[in-house]
Amino acid sequence: MRKCNIDNPSNGYKIIVVDDEIGIIDSLSIFLKRSGYEFTGVTDPLEAIERVKNEHFDLMLLDFIMTPIHGDKVVEEIRKFNKELYILLLTGHKDLAPPLETIRRLDIQGYCEKSDKFDQLLLLIESGIKAISQMNLIKKINAELKDTYEKLEKSYMESIQTLRYTVEAKDAYTRGHSDRVSEFAVLIGKYLNISAEDLRTLQIGGLFHDIGKIGVPDSILLKTAKLTDDEYSEIKNHPTIGAHILSTATIFQNLIPIVKHHHERYDGNGYPSKLKGEDIPYLARITAVADTFDAMTSKRTYRDALPLDVVKAEVERCKGSQFDPKIADVFLDILNNHYDEIVEIQNKY
């Protein structure tokens, strides 16, 4: 049991006792305060529900047979908004205790018969307080780990963003491209009804999908004339380079499939791994459509942005060859019926 300073019981855990017999309340008040706990006594079970809703308590001692509602109904209401409160049920007789399945369903941690002596009850309370103490410690550790993880993630994100901005400084086309690809991919993902976690991965994966261009020579990256076969081979290395950059951080492992495989083709003729069909990671297939769309609708040194009807025809033509046909169909529906959302993204960058 946690040692409490009896001279300062506010250092103790907070216990609420709910019993419609004022004598029980008074007896437990003396007993629990002497043991160093902060005590609240309530005779009305409906009031007890409101007290728990608006105040913090560590443990509840709850009579089973009460009016206007029994203890199991009190717990049922409390569990709708508080899953953590440790609850011990008090019964006048063991035959009056609720069924075991009810105790389990409502997550009641234990029950005890009422008695003039409180020894058994004290043991149950001590056991409960130890459990509560451990749960609080675990929550504290988890919060600290989460804080540390978030700081580490922020540090890595800043480092990768620096690399990304370096690429954008080298290549004017890349500036804004990754942001748009990120948002287009998320838009497609939403219409595919993918999970919030996958949408987050699409968002960050889109931002970093071209990070590997940091390893492509400027002479190739900035060339306005047609690339030679050797130069094109160098460009095709950027997904592998990007995946290697991200592989040094465990927290970015879920981004690697997007970065490495967004240039794969559904027919198996893409790069770097020549993956085919559903062997290509799903989020990479989504990003591939978003990436190609932005490339077609962006002004380049050697051509203007392609008109929308040409873009639609190209997406339709490449269904099943370059693009996953189901993803392509969803994107064509966006272009035909929700194009204002596309324009909104384009106007941001």
Residues 40 and 188 in one domain: no
Reduced to 3 states (helix: H, G, I; strand: E, B; else coil), residue 254 is helix
The two beta strands, 86-91 and 38-42, are unpaired
Instruction: Work out whether the CA dihedral 228, 233, 234, 238 comes out positive or negative.
Output: positive
Residues 198 and 264 in one domain: yes
Supply 15's token pair.
Answer: 């216990």
Q: How many domains does the chain have?
A: 2
Distances (CA, A) of 155 to 23, 116, 202, 261: 60, 60, 20, 25
pLDDT by 10s per residue, the chain, length 349: 344 443 443 357 999 999 988 988 998 998 888 888 999 999 999 999 999 999 999 999 999 888 899 988 999 999 999 988 999 988 876 666 677 777 888 888 887 877 777 778 888 888 888 888 888 888 888 888 888 878 877 887 787 777 777 777 776 666 789 999 999 999 999 999 999 999 999 999 999 899 888 888 878 877 777 888 888 888 899 999 889 888 877 778 999 999 999 999 999 999 999 999 999 999 999 999 999 999 999 887 667 889 999 999 999 999 999 999 999 999 999 999 999 999 999 999 8
Nearest to 332 by CA among 292, 283, 299, 277: 292
Question: Domain with 42 in it: what CATH number?
Answer: 3.40.50.2300
Q: How far apart, in Å, do the first and last CA atoms of the chain sit?
A: 61
Domain assignment of residue 120, yes or no: yes
Question: CA 90 to CA 92: how far, in whole Å?
Answer: 7
Choice among 3, 213, 223, 236 that is catalytic: 213
CB of 288 within 8 A of CB of 262? yes
Residues 216 and 287 in one domain: yes
Give the CA count within 13 Å in the CB-facing half-sphere of 250.
3
- Domain, as residue range, for 338: 171-348
Per residue in 86-140, pLDDT (tens digit) is 999 888 766 666 777 778 888 888 878 777 777 788 888 888 888 888 888 888 8
**Burial annotation 162-201 (CB, 10 A radius, 16+ → b, else e):** ebbeebbebbebbeebbbbbbbbbbbbbeebebeeebbeb
Supply 177's token pair.
Answer: 């491209």
Nearest to 25 by CA among 17, 34, 36: 17
Examine the residue annotation and report whether 319 is marked as an active-site residue of this protein: no
Residues 176 and 62 in one domain: no
Predicted structure pTM score = 0.61
Residues 91 and 187 in one domain: no
Per residue in 196-207, pLDDT (tens digit) is 999 999 999 999
CB of 183 within 8 A of CB of 206? yes
Tell me the sheet residues that pair with 221.
none
How many other CB atoms sit within 10 Å of the CB of residue 289? 24
**Total length of the chain:** 349
Residues 131 and 179 in one domain: no
CB of 210 within 8 A of CB of 174? yes
Domain assignment of residue 212, yes or no: yes
Question: CA 277 to CA 259: how far, in whole Å?
Answer: 17
Question: CA 276 to CA 322: how far, in whole Å?
Answer: 10
Question: CA 207 to CA 164: how far, in whole Å?
Answer: 8
Question: CA 6 to CA 31: how far, in whole Å?
Answer: 12
Rounded to an integer, what is the distance from CA 239 to the centroid of its chain? 27
Domain assignment of residue 2, yes or no: no
Domain assignment of residue 99, yes or no: yes
Question: Domain with 254 in it: what CATH number?
Answer: 1.10.3210.10
Domain assignment of residue 147, yes or no: no
Question: CA 108 to CA 72: how far, in whole Å?
Answer: 9
